[in-house]
Amino acid sequence: MSVTSVTQTVPKIPVVDFSQKGCLKPGTSYWLSVRGNVCHALEEFGCFMVVLPNKVSPELQDSMFGTLKELKKMSVTSVTQTVPKIPVVDFSQESCLKPGTSSWLSVRGNVCHALEEFGCFMAVLPNKVSPELQDSMFGTLKELFDFPIETKAQTPQEKPVTDGYTSTSFHESLAAGTDSEKSRTFEHHFWPNGNDQYRYEKYHDDHVQSIVSTLRFMKYKKPEKTGTGQGLPAHTDKTFTTILHQNHVKGLEIYTKDNKWIGFDPLPSSFLFMACEGFQVWSNDRISSCKHRVNLNINEVRSSFGLFSYLEGVIRAPDELTAEDQPLKYKPLHMLDYVQFFLDNHRNVGVGYSVKEYCGI
């Protein structure tokens, strides 16, 4: 595509080729040629198409259009829509994590509103999860589930936090604690010589002292038949908070205050943040734990990661959240004891058992 002449019989927008290095150096023959084409094109059409081969790499394109797609989705999704949608909170401004700045105040307002209304929100962090990081995370997840069943079944386990391997006919999950020791034990169980891709604990904030977390890898088999609701039954997590990240295969749904199931539309650089049962106790029911399920309708393997976080010790609502018209709703809750109780008794108490039954007043 050197130069398309402007004198074609079927008129076409003229193309000017800027691929030669010298074409921007005044006086060179390339420059003279390009200048002639530009002038001619402008005189005839008032415009031209500029061709700059290799200047816009496929990666740059992907990143530009990816961001555009995210922005487009963000602008139409709001917590005040009439058809409810999972609220989106945009964390793209650097200053939004600096307390007191206007973007922090705005994000804080959106987070509180979303949690009060839905118990969850989708956090959009453009450019924080690069395509390379995504590939590496989902690549590691695939490698993990490709290990023989015997290796997976012997994954180190520690109670009460649900580390280890579990499976049903539709779904497998592998979980490991996120402190350095547990995560190293997990890594060496699968890769005796270590695996650089797996070493995620470098992303973990070790200043979050009282939080115990489990990182769980989940893989859902292709549904045998779509529309049969295979996946995970409706439940609330027995954690304080859960943060989910998934591949492109939809299926996660959350239950709204007006009793509707709404689907989560994942974006590559986004997470779903959910307030869970511990949060409900701490907030004295101001925030309800987010009820959700996985309902597979696409004939593809769905993969997801969950960071399940628990608070060590006892949770009680702070004074600010209890008042005469808002009396205390829960006895103090020892989260890890509650998790252990549920693990030991879930067959008897059922999947719908919650903190209301365990320590509600």
Residues that bind ligand AKG (CB under 6 A): 218, 232, 237, 244, 246, 252, 292, 294, 304, 306
Residue nearest to ligand AKG (CB): 304
CB of 139 to ligand AKG, least distance (A): 18
CB of 130 to Fe ion, least distance (A): 27
Cβ proximity of 110 and 121 under 8 Å: yes
How far apart, in whole angstroms, are the C-alpha atoms of residue 28 and residue 25? 6
How far apart, in whole angstroms, are the C-alpha atoms of residue 252 and residue 274? 12
Exposure on the CB side of residue 51, measured as CA atoms within 13 A: 14
CB of 169 to Fe ion, least distance (A): 18
Nearer Cβ to ligand AKG (91/220) = 220
Query: Residue type at 338?
Result: Y
Binding partner of residue 249 among ligand AKG, Fe ion, none, CB cut-off 5 to 8 Å per kind:
none
Nearer Cβ to Fe ion (114/254) = 254
CB of 165 to Fe ion, least distance (A): 17
Nearer Cβ to ligand AKG (186/217) = 217
As beta bridge partners, residue 263 has 253
Nearer Cβ to ligand AKG (188/293) = 293
> Looking up tokens 């060179």, which residue turns up?
28
Query: Residue type at 322?
Result: T
Binding partner of residue 218 among ligand AKG, Fe ion, none, CB cut-off 5 to 8 Å per kind:
ligand AKG
How far apart, in whole angstroms, are the C-alpha atoms of residue 196 and residue 215? 17
Nearer Cβ to ligand AKG (294/315) = 294
Residue nearest to Fe ion (CB): 237
Q: Which residues contact 332 (CB under 8 A, 6 or more apart)?
A: 314, 315, 316, 359
List the end-to-end C-alpha distance of the chain, in Å, as a whole number: 76
Nearer Cβ to ligand AKG (37/230) = 230
CB of 303 to ligand AKG, least distance (A): 8
Sign (positive/negative) of CA torsion 50, 56, 57, 63?
Answer: negative
CB of 252 to ligand AKG, least distance (A): 4
Binding partner of residue 219 among Fe ion, ligand AKG, none, CB cut-off 5 to 8 Å per kind:
none
Helices 131-146 and 58-76: crossing angle, nearest 10°?
A: 90
The residues binding Fe ion (CB under 5 A) are: 237
Tokens linked to 241: 């908070």
